[in-house]
Amino acid sequence: MKFVITAGPTREPIDPVRFLSNRSSGKMGYAIAAAAIEANHEVLLISGPVNLAAPAGARLVSVITSDEMCAAVQEAVLDCDVLVMCAAVSDYKPARVAEQKIKKRDERFSLELIPACDILKSLPPSRNFFVVGFAAETNDVEEHARAKLATKNCDMMVANDLSDPNIGMESDENAVAIFSRSGESEEISRASKKIVARALVKKIRANAKKVLTKKF
């Protein structure tokens, strides 16, 4: 199968030296890419700024902003079997980017934000590839994940609980819950992201083959 996997954060510029971002390290997305290669799948890895080496065998596309990631995904899905949207794409970006560094002043400063590109919602509703979304939540994890599964038109949603500081973002370990369009759910217990990634790739492949039977 041809996997397109997104990983890491995006950075939304405020001025030439400042940006909005998040705590995503890219470790989970890179682990999924490595696991997919290990399982003999073809991998295109679309990555935001991270301090990680791309897995051997992956074709890497480096991006910075949400708009760049959206454009890269739109091109990549023209020829893929599975899209795994593991990246922590910014929800908002500055309405305007200052051309020069904004100087510090002894007064309040307001930054107007506008919605960033919603990559999952931008995908065509009718498609011939399997879509896996990720939901990083701090509360009501299952409720939010199932809602996102429906509103983002995904085939599968992988959720993790960010209220536990020992797993998820920046950690080497993770624990996730998987929700499918059919209503089924499954949990992968806390383990290294490498082990979680291997389990995820097996689950994704099995479910994708059911949905994409005409392609295999």
22 is catalytic: yes
C-alpha angle 24-29-34 in degrees, rounded to nearest 5: 145
Q: Per DSSP, which regions of 36-81 are E strands?
A: 42-47, 59-62
From the number of C-beta atoms within 10 Å of its C-beta (0-12, 13-18, 19+), residue 2 rates as middle
The dihedral region occupied by 93, where left means phi > 0, alpha psi between -120 and 50, and beta the remainder, is beta
Catalytic residue among 22, 51, 139, 153: 22
144 contacts 159 by C-beta, under 8 angstroms: yes
Q: How many angstroms separate the Cα of 41 from the Cα of each of 34, 100, 132, 196?
A: 10, 45, 16, 17
**Residues with catalytic roles:** 22
